[in-house]
Structure 1
Amino acid sequence: MSRSLRHGALAATAIAFSIAALSACGAGNNAQTLEVRPDNAATSVGAIKIQNANVITQPEDGAKGPAVVAATLFNNGTKAETLDSITLTGSSGSVQLHPAEGSGPVVVPAGGRVVLGGKGNAAAVIANGSEAAQNGNVQPLVFKFSRSGDITLGASVVPAKHYFEGFGPSSLPEPPKLPSESPEATPSGSASGTPGGPSETPSGSASNSVTPTDAASDSAQPG
């Protein structure tokens, strides 16, 4: 085989391999199908796989308010599992779990998945988010499942901007309230009594007045 033919065969093989690789990315539970960024934390233990794990804080630096843990949880087993807790290793922050609907535990169905974070999904809320995690750090997380036990991975801490905007905390900090103005005080004497004036009758006016009866009796007496 000539050198030119050999080079042509190698090029064709490389192109075929690239097309096959791209085709494989279009199916199954992979980053392209689930819109999971490849640089986000992912791991699997037993039947449970965790992908796209991040700690998402308030969009503005220094803002007070909750943060959330966002992740996609897969259960490749034949029995449902519950997510019992998420712990922030080395931090005092506590994570409150809420199912997508109603109350109770967050259940990952057999052969299904659960998304943490985002509208209409289950939620994992860190109440004191500004104190528990700092943007730019990698926060170790421990996911505790009912059957698979503890699963540990490091999640990037990012603000709720750009790609992460729709997965960030649902409650943003309220603007500070201005001190309420107290109503003006009413002068102490204005409501305590009726001020004296022309409407008051002098105390001696009734005793000195002449009644019609007295006038008539005087006129009837002889002079």
Structure 2
Amino acid sequence: MSRSLRRGALAATAIVISIGALSACGAGNDAQTLGIKPDSAATTIGDIRIQNANVITQPERNAAGPAVVTATLFNNGAAQQTLDAITLPGTSATVQLHAAKGAGPIVVPAGGKVVLGGKGNAAAVIENGREAARNGNVQSVVFKFSRTGDVPLGVFVVPATSYFTGFGPSSLPAVPSETPATTPSGSATPGAPSGSPSESASGAAGPTDAASASQSAG
């Protein structure tokens, strides 16, 4: 093969490799092309790393109801931290935090992680979610931790469809309800005196007994 032909073959090979690499990158960034998890916000400040952060709204476009903040919270420090609050700067929305069991603070253990959103996990509920966030926007979110302090980042606002179906506003931890006190068996009916003797057991003589006593005396 001549030198010019060899150069042409090498150039063609380089073009094919370049096109293949660009195609792979394009597919990797297009979640719908490969049907994989979409890109989500992530950041690290101090011992805290936040991954997979999103604001997820109701699945129907015009549906009213809460939205949720989802994320995975990592604590790379030697001491546990609590997630004290989540705020959405630029909005009047409030975010209610729920531990996985529905009571107490959300604790991120030392060297461990906590998932916000999804069945059986902790939750961060935006009560007026439709007014606070619009699908397709990037919303500023600030996570406030007991030791690290504020961890801000911009997150995508997406509906609870497709990949996010199981992480949407309907997936809240169950709050244990108080069981009403049961009435002990055998207790008296309200309004009736407890343990009052019946007329036959009280020893009071009825009309028949009085007549019999009179005849005996005669």
Q: Deviations over 1:41-91 (max 9, x none)?
A: 000001100000000000000110000000000001110000000000101
Question: TM-score normalized by structure 1?
Answer: 0.60
Change in 2 beyond 3 A, CA 1:102/1:134? closer
Tell me the residue number matched to 1:154.
154
Q: Contact conserved, 2:80 with 2:109, CA < 8 A, in 1?
A: yes
Distance 1:63 1:131, change over 3 A: same
Between the aligned partners of 1:97 and 1:74, the Cα distance in structure 2 is 17
- Give, in angstroms, the shift of residue 37 of structure 1: 4.2
Matched residue type, 1:57: T
Q: Give how far 1:171 is off.
A: 6.9
Q: CA deviation at 1:102?
A: 4.0
- Could you say which structure has the higher helix fraction? 2
Q: What is the aligned-residue RMSD (CA, Å)? A: 2.3
Alignment of 1:16-35 (within 5 A): none
1:73 aligns with 2:67: no
1:86 and 1:144 in contact (8 A); partners too: yes
Match in the other structure for 2:165: 165
Contact 1:65 1:171 in 2 (8 A): no
Identity %, equivalent residues: 71
Query: What SS class does the counterpart of residue 131 from structure 1 fall into?
Result: helix
User: Per-residue displacement from partner, 1:103-124 (whole Å, max 9, x unpaired)?
Assistant: 1110000010000000000000
Structure 1 outlier segments of 4+, above 3 Å: none
Which residue identity is paired with 1:159?
P
Structure possessing the higher radius of gyration over alpha carbons: 1
Kindly report which structure 2 residues correspond to 1:59-98, keeping only aligned pairs within 5 A, or say none: 59-98=59-98
Q: Distance in 1 between the 2:171 and 2:63 partners? A: 12
Structure 1 Cα separation of the partners of residues 102 and 63 of structure 2: 29
Question: Take 2:171 and 2:71, find their aligned partners in 1: how far apart are those partners?
Answer: 19
Q: CA deviation at 1:137?
A: 0.3
Partner of 1:16: none
The 5-angstrom pairing of residues 35-54 of structure 1 reads 37=37, 39-54=39-54
Number of equivalences: 143
1:106-121 aligned at under 5 Å gives the runs: 106-121=106-121
Q: Which runs of 5+ in 1 are unaligned?
A: 8-35, 173-223
Structure 2, unmatched stretches of 5+, are 11-35, 173-218
SS in 2 for 1:170: coil
